[in-house]
Amino acid sequence: MLHAAIGIMTAALISGPAPRPAIAASDLEFLAGTWRGAAGPMVFEETWLPPRAGNLTGTFRMTAPDDEGVSRVSVVEIMTITEDDESGELVYRLRHFDTSLVPWASEADGPIQAVVTLGGEQRLRFHPTDPEGDIESFEYAVEGETLTAIVNFKTEGREPFELVFRRVR
């Protein structure tokens, strides 16, 4: 009888729900909201919906003057951070589009993907899953009303790319 009970408990543990990620979407409430920044004439905006059902969904838009000085949207991004039931990890997916929602040619086969880890309080680190890409990692850090995004590259001598946003109330 004892062996049967142990067998049933073991089977229940093995066939139970998928493991919860070490970091959950609900832990990322600090990203929710609209963020805006500028670098010279370029303006960038990022908005994240609050976590729900194991997911955050975000958008990004960058505007910059064209050759005639008229401000135009130069890139649109759609992003998700989702709890992956199979791996138990938190996965970031990003796709770049033009304003007609045509994906960039480099992403025609699918989005950029990265595994998300905590890098400290209100700090995330993203580790791309494509070993061929030039991005080593990227990070989000929220301090007060400021969100800093930093992209680190594999190419020797290529400086990190940084965007600084302020929360829009």
pLDDT over 90 (residue 13): no
The pLDDT assigned to 156 comes to: 93
48 Cβ neighbours under 8 A, 6+ residues apart: 31, 32, 33, 56, 57, 58
The pLDDT assigned to 3 comes to: 52
42-63: pLDDT as tens digits: 999 999 999 999 999 999 999 9
> Which domains does the chain carry?
21-168 (2.40.128.20)
73-102: pLDDT as tens digits: 999 999 999 999 888 899 999 999 999 999
Nearest Cα to Cα of residue 76 among 89, 92, 63: 63
Instruction: Give the whole-angstrom CA distance, residue 68 versus residue 161.
Output: 26
Q: Stretch 113-131: mean pLDDT, rounded?
A: 92
